[in-house]
Structure 1
Amino acid sequence: MAQTTQDIRIGWIGLGEMGYGMAKNLHAYLASHGSHLTVWNRSPGKTDAIKEQGAHVAISIENLASTSNVIFTSLANDAAVENVYEQLVQLASKVQEQIIFVDTSTIHPSTATKISQLVAAYPQHRYLQCPVFGRPDRAHAAQLVWVASGDAATIEKLQPYFGSMSKNTIDLRTTDVSKASSFKLMGNFFVVGTIELLAEGLALAEKVDIDKSAMLQFIESFFPTPSWIGYSQKMASGSTEKAGGFPVTLGLKDVGHMRKLAADHGAALPTADVAYKNLEKLKAQGKGDQDWSSIIEVLREGPEAQK
């Protein structure tokens, strides 16, 4: 590593399905170099598993901030990110030693800009926006795709830590952190577009009584990618479980962000518009905790459900 373990003291905030997988791998990397990760989560019970692996648990966000000079965050939505960073920046404002903040959350570009401006008020500190691509199983396997934006020297400094959690890093080579958030939303557009396309096609196949196994064989032969195969198998099996996936509620948040991004820049995302309506229907039916591939349930209802 470029620095000794005494130089780098890493903290982690947010131990949801994605955050825990990333934090687990980062802690294992640190432990292999004679150090440890310090974690804090708003729901204390979620720290138990990583504590058993040797990570330290901060008693408060103040405690974590006072013992860390690199702080990673993995949070569910923009409101949570703003709340946590308002606290972190207030605490950091009293510290002369540099603190590097790395947010891995999927947020609207304007939120990333707002957080960057908060941190920039204290020039000794740095803020990177580094969203990640991959489902929770990929996070656990350290196979995420990491996206980096912010100060180039800081990104270079943290590359070993990014590498402990991902299979590769896409460095956008810009200090404009909003670009990473935009990039993540565009990537997620391709994912939700895939889900909508598969749901429409498989729902039609069911209506005309095409054998499911034959359709899955076709998809595996012509579109042999993890997302196509995984989502088509999930839909064909009738599974709606969120475990290891992505809930309708967060899907609505992400698709809402990408639609706003498109509108703000004079672009059109008709596929996202359709997917958003279908996700809204699922939420209205009390299915907000189901995996967002449950879009196929709405399509199975037929044309009337699309009005």
Structure 2
Amino acid sequence: MPSFIPPEKDSNPFSRPQTPVEKHKVAFVGIGAMGYFMARNLASSQGIGNHPLLVWNRSPAKAEALLEELGSTKIRVAASLAEVATESDIIITNLANDAVVTSVYEEMISHLVNHASSKSKLFVETSTIYPALAGQLEEMLDPISYATLITAPVFGAPVAADKAQLVIVTSGDHRSKTEIAHLLVPAVGRKIVDLGGNLEKAPTLKLIGNSIILGFNASMAQSLTLAEKASIGAESALDLVKELFPTPIIMNYADKMTHDKFDGSKGFSIDGGIKDAQHIRQLTSAHGSPMPIIDIVHQQMITAKALHNANKQANVPTHDVLDMTAIIAASRIAAGLDAFDSKKHGTSQVVRPSTSFTE
């Protein structure tokens, strides 16, 4: 369980209601690499009162693992999405891609259309989606007069989700955002950034933020590869990164690349990275704002995935899911190095500095 870290000043732009708010029945859909920690921290918080968090996942094993960790007083596993839609007042979704998001919402909406509820329903979409999908989801919910949607994508790797240090970006109905603001901070995240009433704004900022992360990783991959080829060594370059950019997210990505930590089940999968790059490219085209670095990132991640698939077919031991930081495989191959095993690069000429880096 995460240790409590006090939220920063002005971490929540929504004032806490002066009158007590009824505790809602909350559901969490999508118990993946991020969703597991988000759901766990939410279930352990005081925000949902005495109601156990209702969870659902396409693969029941992950939901059952959460139940085993927290117990039946904190977690209840839903048998179906129909049960989630019927029994919950607030439904938080954190899913892999747009197709899965659409499918899950279609199933819940279909049930609600045929089984009207006397209570309002608030859907909180935290996945990384193409902005136009938010408008499509709102249209899908139109027949259900008592249902409202807000978008609330999150920034942070699974390690940040584990520690409840996510940054949550919201857009949509103000009253609905107020309802969930103090449910999510500090239980799930450390800060909310609100972008107003347009549902598409939060998913747009999420993609812009991910473009920065993806661009950084492409640049880092090339720099670490050059350090290997120049007989400096990736470890020395990593030391420099730690000196110049001592922030957890940057150091984490650089460390993964340097030490071949390419297990995508514990981080940001390369499939997710490819999906985000496709969304960003579509967004830049729609707004006439070129971003060539993302074209390169997209190509390099596809290359890394192809190399990974080739290893699988050749029965070379590898991870089931590849991490996004394996983008470095493309740079390594282009430089004549092994794609995934830096131990094969050779270290005989590598020189590590004996002093710290200073300006």
* TM-score normalized by the length of structure 1: 0.93
Alignment of 1:189-200 (within 5 A): 189-200=211-222
Alignment of 1:110 onto 2:132: yes
SS at match of 1:209: coil
2:98: which partner in 1?
78
SS at match of 1:286: helix
SS at match of 1:100: strand
Retained in 2: the 8 A contact 1:262–1:269? yes
More helix by share: 1
Cα deviations by residue, 1:175-220 (Å, 9 ceiling, x for unpaired) = 2111111111101001101100100111111111113332222111
Q: 2:76 aligns with which of 42, 56, 67?
A: 56
SS at match of 1:149: strand
After superposition, the Cα gap between the structure-2 partners of 1:145 and 1:117, relative to the gap in structure 1 and judged at 3 Å, is same
Retained in 1: the 8 A contact 2:229–2:335? no
Cα distance in structure 2, aligned partners of 1:29 and 1:168? 16
Residues paired across the two proteins, number: 302
1:17: which partner in 2?
33
Retained in 1: the 8 A contact 2:29–2:91? yes
Could you say what the CA RMSD is over the residues aligned between the two structures, in angstroms?
1.9
Alignment of 1:282 onto 2:304: yes
Alignment of 1:137 onto 2:159: yes
Question: C-alpha displacement at 1:289, in angstroms?
Answer: 2.2
SS at match of 2:308: coil
Cα distance in structure 1, aligned partners of 2:334 and 2:305? 18
Alignment of 1:151 onto 2:177: no
Question: C-alpha displacement at 1:303, in angstroms?
Answer: 6.1
Greater C-alpha radius of gyration: 2
What residue identity is the alignment partner of 1:169? I
Cα distance in structure 1, aligned partners of 2:240 and 2:279? 33
After superposition, the Cα gap between the structure-2 partners of 1:31 and 1:150, relative to the gap in structure 1 and judged at 3 Å, is closer
Alignment of 1:295 onto 2:317: no
Q: 1:249 aligns with which of 266, 271, 282?
A: 271
Residue identity (%): 33
In structure 2, list runs of 5 or more residues that go unmatched. Answer: 1-16, 310-319, 338-359
2:142: which partner in 1?
120
Question: C-alpha displacement at 1:96, in angstroms?
Answer: 3.9
Alignment of 1:89 onto 2:109: yes
Cα deviations by residue, 1:121-152 (Å, 9 ceiling, x for unpaired) = 33321101111011111111111111111100
What residue identity is the alignment partner of 2:22? T
In structure 1, list runs of 5 or more residues that go unmatched. Answer: none
Cα distance in structure 1, aligned partners of 2:250 and 2:172? 32
